[in-house]
Structure 1
Amino acid sequence: MEKMIIHGGAPLRGTVTLSGSKNAALPIMMASLLTSEPLVLSNVPRLRDVKTAMDLLTQLGVAARWIDDHRVELHAAKVTSHEASYELVKTMRASFVVLGPLLARTGRARVSTPGGCAIGARPVNLHIAGIRALGSKIQFRHGYVEAHAEKLTGGRIWLDSPSVGATENILMAAVTARGRTVIENAAREPEVQDLARVLVAMGAKISGAGTHVIEIEGVERLHGAEHEVIPDRIEAGSMMAAAAITGGDVTITNAPIEHLEAVATKLREAGVTVEANGKGVRIARNNGLKPVELRTLPYPGFPTDLQAQMMAMLTQADGSSVITETIFENRFMHAQELARMGADILMKGPTAVVRGPSKLSGAPVMATDLRASMGLIIAGLAAEHTTELSRIYHLDRGYEALDAKLSSLGARIERAQEQ
C-alpha cells in the first residue's frame, strides 16, 4: 500500500499536458466487441481502470495489447465468452457497459450487477429498461444480469434521468439493431459524444450525440477504426483548482475549454483568471478568492466529479460558499477529512456551507473515493506543513502520473510506502 506525502505552501507554476479521458476511454474500449476487425485507440491513459477494462476484454476473447505508451489495439476477431464476472465488475462499475456491445455482437450476455458504491446509489435499472426496449429478454440470477436476443430491434427509449452509462450501453446495443432507435433524455456529456464519434468511424449511423435526443439507424455490421480519445476534462478542472488554491499560474496545453464552461464560470466568479491563449488555457490567481454558490448537474452543468476539488479550493475563499450536490447522495465524505485539516464546513443534507478562509494544517487523511482523493491533495498543496494521504489506489484509478505532473509545476509531493 502506498500513500502520498504533500508538503504545502508552494504555488504551482508552469505548463502541464492532460492525459486522455478515462471516462471516454472505457466505454470506447468496450465498443471493440462490436467488430471482428481491430480498433486502435490513441491518447489512452495508463490507469488502473484501463487495465481492468483490458483484463475484462481479454477474458471475453479480445486480443488486447499496448502498441506504445498511450496506444492500444483491441481485436475481437472472436468472442469466446459471454460473461463479465463479479470480480471485475465490482472493481470498476464502468464494466457494466459491456452488456450492450456483448449482447449486440453475440446475442447473449451474462454481466454481474455492480453492487454498492461509496458515493451513493447508482442503479442499473435504466440500462436494463433500455436494453429490454430493444427486444432483449432479461433475467436476474445469482447477482447477474442474463440477456438474450437473437436480433435486437430498434425502439423509442425515454430515460428517466440522463444517465451516462445507460446512454452508452443503449447506444452500443442499438448500432447494429434492426431499424431505428431513438434515445430521449439522453446524456449529453463529451464522453458520450466521443463514443458516438468512434462508433460512426466504425460505420454506425448516429445523429444527435451531444443533445437530449440521439437517433441511431441500425447497420448490418461495423468495421475497425482508429480513434484518438479526448483529453480528460476532469483532470483539467482538478489542475485548475490546484493552481487557484496555491495562487499559482499554470497553462494546460490541451485543456478542452469547450467542455469546461461551467467550471470556468465558477472559477472566474471566485476571482481566478481563466483565459485561452495560443498554448492552451491559463489559470492564474494574484488576489484572494471570493465565495461562490454552485450546484452539481448533468452536463453542461457543473460536474459532480469536480465537486470535491472545488470544495477544497473554496476553503480559502473570503466568506461563505454554498455547494449543493444533486447527483450522488454520499459525495460529501471528503468534508470530514478536510475538517481534520482545519476547514470550516457545515453540512445539511445535500448542501455544504464552506466558510473561509480557513488556515489549513497538514494532517494524516484518508481517501474515500477517486475524486475525494484529489480534493484532499489540493487542500494539502495549500496547507501548512505536511499532509499524508492514504488509500491512494483510488487516485490511481483516474489520474495518470499525478505526482509527476504536480512536481513539474513546483509542488512538493511524493509517494511513500505505508508503514
Structure 2
Amino acid sequence: MVRCNVSELREGMVLAEDVLTAGGRFLMPKGTTLDHGHLKSLQAWNLSAVSVAAAATPLAPGARDDGAVAAGEAAEIVVRERLCRLDCEHEAGRVLWRLALERETRHRLAGDAVSPGQGESGPHRPGDDTVGRPEELPPPLSSPEALLRDEPKLVSPPEVYLRINDVLRDPISTVEDAAESIRHDPSLAAKLLRLVNSSFYARTLRAVRGRFPAKVDSLSRAVMVVGGRQLATLALGVSVLPLFQDIPPHWVNMRVFWEHSVGCAAAAQAIAGACSRGNPETAFVAGLLHDIGRIIVFKQASTHMAAAMRQAAAAREPLYKAERDLLGFDHAALGGHLLRKWQFPANLEKMVRYHHDLGEPLFIDEPAVIHLADCVATAMGWGASGNRHAPPLDPAAWEALGLTGEELTRLVPVMEARLAETMHSFFPDRDGRP
C-alpha cells in the first residue's frame, strides 16, 4: 500500500483503504478500481492524497498481456449478452456497460470462470430438465390470490411482523416500544445489529460518536441511531427472509437469489439517499423484497416458471415479460399483492408492485428507485433471481430521479461495498440460510 497524491492518480489504480471526505463522509470503498469518474470525484472533493494498492510490475513498452486480453474478450461476450436489452447509448446505459465490463474482467483475471452471482446462468439452468418442451406450455394461472391461497405459510405474516406493524401504526410509540417489538426474535435482532454496525450507517454512527460507544450493542441504541420507525421498517423486510428456505436447489440457489435482492436493496438505499426520493430505509426494504413474488412462483407454480425462464432465454428478454405471458401476471404484481395482504405500508407495496410498470402509478418517484436499482443490480451481475438479461431502463425513471451518469458512476462502487457487507450481516454462515 502506498500513499498517492490525488493529482498523481491514474485510471486502473485500486484503493487500498476507504476514502472519506475531510468532514468524515464516506466517499468510496476499499477495493474500488479507479476510472475517469472516480478521479474527477476525488478532485472535486479537494482531497490531497489517498491510499492505493502497490502497483504490479509494469509490462515492457509495446508488450502484450495475452491473459488480460483474453479475459477482456470473454468478459465482453458475457456482458454484451446480459445487457442486450439495455440501451447502451443512454447515459445510464453507458455507465452500466463500462462498470459491468470492468467487474466481469476483474473476476476473470482473478480466475473465476463464472462471475459471482451468475450461478443460474451456468451449464445447468433451472427448469432445463424438469418440464416439457415449449409446445407443452401450461395454461395461465387464474389470479395472484389463487396462488397465495395454496401456501398456508403465506396466509399470515410472521408473528414478529405483527408486533412491528403495531409499532409502525402507533403515532405515540416510544424507543423502547420499537426495541421491544424486535427483542423477542434473537435472530432478527442480531441481523439488525450487524446491519446498523456496518458501513450502511457509518456516517450516522460518526455523527453520534461521543454519545454512544463505537459499537451499537443494543436495540435501544440502534433505535436511537437509526430511528424507531426506520428500524422497524428494516425489521419488516428482514423478518420475511426465513419464510423462504425450502425452495428446491434445482430451481434456485437461495443465497444467489438473496444476493441479487440485497444488491437491489443496497442500490435502492443509495439512490433514494442521493436523489432525496423517499426514505432510504423504506427503499432498502422494497429492494430486498422486490422479487419476493418470484419465490412464490418457484414454490407454487414451478412448471410455469421453468417455461417462462426458457421462453425468456430463447427470446433474450427480461423474465417478467415471459411471466406475464405464461402466468397472466408477473412476480411484481404477485409480490405487491402479498404485501397488501400482509398490510405492509402502502408505499412499500407500491414500490414492489410497480417496479416493472411505471406507467401505472400516478407518482413514479418511489417505484422508479426500485426500477433503477433492479436494473443496476442485474446489469452488474450481483446475484441472480432467474433473469439472464438486464431489464431495459425506462427513460421516465431516469428523468424522475434526476441523476447524472457521473453520479451513478460514483454510487455503484458504494452500492457494491454495501452489498458485500450486508450479505455478511444476513448470511454469516456458509450455507446461505437467512
Q: TM-score range by the shorter chain?
A: under 0.3
Instruction: Give the TM-score normalised by the residue count of structure 2.
Output: 0.27
User: Would you tell me which structure has more helix in proportion to its own residues?
Assistant: 2
User: Would you tell me which structure has more strand in proportion to its own residues?
Assistant: 1
Instruction: Give the TM-score normalised by the residue count of structure 1.
Output: 0.28
